[in-house]
Amino acid sequence: MIISLVIHGAPGTSQGAQSALSFCRAALAAGHRIYRVFFYEDGVHNANALAVWPQDEQNLPVAWAALVREHELDAVVCVASALKRGVLNAEEASRYEKTAASVDPAFDISGLGQWVDACLNSDRVVSFGV
């Protein structure tokens, strides 16, 4: 089965990001294909490489980046959601004359067209809310 996921919740304030990570791992272990993981609204914070987590908590941005790299997943951060939350890659930081980029390079920044494409090319779409 081909599955795409959309994550709306920020790490640390929503169970959605953790549930999505667990679901994604289980789907991959069961032999399913993940077409795309799309981070939307506050979910874009899951791609923030500059967040520092307490040692007794799982660092979800690091865990997501590791999963994306390990399985070569297509992980897309919504550009509109990211910009207004200060979650920028190097290209966007330069474009808006900001001093730093915060998106882990494992993630791409793109528009909602990527989510529409994922919906069209997946057997199932699973949404993880806030």
For the question of residue 78 being annotated catalytic, the response is yes
Determine which one of 17, 37, 78, 103 is catalytic: 78
**Cα torsion for 90, 93, 96, 98, to the nearest 10°?**
-140
CA distance 104 to 89: 8
Coil/strand/helix, residue 80: helix
How far is it, in rounded angstroms, from Cα 26 to Cα 110? 26
Catalytic residue positions, numbered: 78
